Amino acid sequence: MPIIAAPQDFHADDLFVDFTAEFGLYLKCEGFNFAGSIKLKAAQAMIAAAERDGLLGPRSVIVESSSGNLGVALAVLAADQGYDFLCVTDTRCNPATVRMIEALGSRVHVVTEPDPVDGYLGARLRHVRDLVRADDRHVWLNQYENAANWQAHYRTTAPAIADRFPALDVLFVGAGTTGTLMGCARYFHERRPGVTVVAVDSVGSVTFGGPPLMRFIPGLGAGVRPPMLDLAQVDDVVQVTESDAIDMCHRLARKGFLFGGSTGTVVTGAARWLADHGARQAVAIAPDLGDRYVDSVYEPSWVREVTGRLDAVR
């Protein structure tokens, strides 16, 4: 095991779970770092870019809109590097995530009312812009448009998959900000054009043109179309209901694998696509683990309220 001096110095980038017998895929696990998710990569890259551009100084307050995981990642880095950080989230953020951000010494602002048109994400972005206009100490990294977001996955996530699976046919990537999706898609389309890149999104997300609907699981999906998205880089799209994603999380948990809601969405979409199309070798990306979801995705009363199904959890 490595000896590290900073929390960002450790990330298990080569851990895959073999689910080929049941789902026809290998699952790349991105939750094994001190931030607990794939978002540590984007957070590192965006802070490094802001430092190179001279945007961050001793008085700076990093501010970012996040549904949870990026907030934790930025709180980890802010604590290590001595920055102040304010995370702007909304009521769908898992309570455990809010507590983690605060435990790391950062602040959290919870938006309680969605924008009438652009939902909670639109309301979060409006609050961030107001903060930046009101005080020049606030530095918005803007994960939704920051090229360092997708470049982090172009440099790290995609090559790790390519090195481990030289015969890869299909890659499944969840779509949130689309940073992971764009970084991986650009890498494989440039270096391994035979690989099909399939985006997995939540029903109710507007990312790929669907109607906006209320969503309860943080992470994937968006109420505002991600500016980073380039549809030319995406070969296919699968949309998954939150009810099906929750069912998959519980199915995986019964095997001893406690994953987050985004992973349940991605595995559901990948399994459905593979059942229709097939593939010799397929990989899906699991953004995080499930410990932050024990009060939501794994809580029977919460699940029944969200899905309306009395049989949602047995």
Q: What is the pLDDT of residue 233?
A: 97
One domain, residues 21 and 86: no
Instruction: Determine the average pLDDT of the residues in 285-301.
Output: 94
Answer yes or no: is 83 within a domain: yes
Task: Tell me if 171 is assigned to some domain.
Answer: yes
Report d(CA 284, CA 60) in Å as an integer.
Answer: 37
Q: Judge if 133 and 256 occupy the same domain.
A: no
Q: What local confidence, expressed as pLDDT, does residue 314 receive? A: 46
Q: Are 275 and 27 in contact (CB under 8 A)?
A: no
Instruction: Write out the two tokens for 233.
Output: 């880089």
**Domain stop point among 114, 140, 166:** 140
**What is the span of the domain harbouring residue 112?**
40-140
Q: Is 211 or 268 the better-scoring residue by pLDDT?
A: 268
Contact between 60 and 139 under an 8 Å Cβ cutoff? The reply is yes
Let me know if residue 313 belongs to a domain.
Answer: no
Establish if 314 belongs to a structural domain: no
pLDDT of residue 199: 98
Model confidence at 306, in pLDDT bands (50, 70, 90)?
confident
Q: What is the pLDDT of residues 115-168, one digit of tens each?
A: 988 888 899 999 999 999 999 999 999 999 999 999 999 999 999 999 999 999
Mean pLDDT across the stretch 21-40?
Answer: 97
Query: The domain that contains 69 carries what CATH number?
Result: 3.40.50.1100
* Dist. CA 186–CA 150, nearest whole Å: 9
180 plus 274 within the same structural domain: yes
Given 108, 140, 172, which residue is the final one in a domain?
140
Query: Which band of pLDDT confidence, cut at 50, 70 and 90, is reported for residue 28?
Result: very high
Residue 1 confidence (pLDDT): 65
Q: How far apart are CA 184 and CA 179, in angstroms?
A: 9
Say whether both 33 and 54 belong to one domain: no
If asked whether residues 188 and 303 sit together in one domain, one would say yes
The phi, psi pair for 29, rounded to 5°, reads -95, 120
Residues 88 and 156 in one domain: no
Note the pTM of the prediction, 2 decimals.
0.94
Q: Is residue 15 part of a domain?
A: yes
Residues contacting 89, CB < 8 A, separation 6+: 65, 66, 67, 68, 71, 97, 98, 108, 109, 110, 111, 124
- Indicate if 153 and 283 belong to the same structural domain: yes
Q: Strand order of the sheet with strand 196-202?
A: 16-19, 25-29, 282-286, 170-174, 196-202, 236-240
Residue 279 forms part of a structural domain: yes
Residue 276 has pLDDT above 70, yes or no: yes
Number of domains composing the chain: 2
With a cut of 90, say whether residue 297 has pLDDT above it. yes
268: confidence class by pLDDT, cuts 50, 70, 90? very high
Give the pLDDT confidence score for residue 310 in this predicted structure. Answer: 58
pLDDT confidence of residue 307: 80
Average pLDDT rounded to a whole number, residues 179-197: 97
Residue 64 lies in a domain: yes
Residue 218, pLDDT score: 86
In a domain? residue 77: yes
Structure tokens at 244: 């099906």
Task: Produce one character per residue of 219-231: b if its CB has 16 or more CB atoms within 10 Å, e if not.
Answer: bbbbbbebebbee
Which residue from 218, 197, 177, 178 is spatially nearest to 95, judged by alpha carbons?
218
Same domain, 278 and 134: no
So what's the pLDDT on residue 123?
A: 94
Tell me: pLDDT of 313 over 60.
no
* 197 and 82 assigned to the same domain: no
Do 44 and 167 belong to one domain? Answer: no
> Is the per-residue pLDDT at 274 higher than 80?
yes
Q: Of 104, 100, 78, 101, nearest to 88 (Cα)? A: 101
Q: Are both 69 and 123 inside the same structural domain?
A: yes
In this predicted structure, what is the pLDDT of residue 312? 56
Average pLDDT over the chain, rounded to an integer: 94
Within a 10 A sphere around the Cβ of 274, how many other Cβ atoms?
A: 19
Q: What is the pLDDT of residues 56-102, one digit of tens each?
A: 988 999 999 998 999 999 999 999 999 999 999 999 898 889 999 99
168 & 256 share domain: yes
Q: Of 140, 161, 179, which residue is a domain's last? A: 140
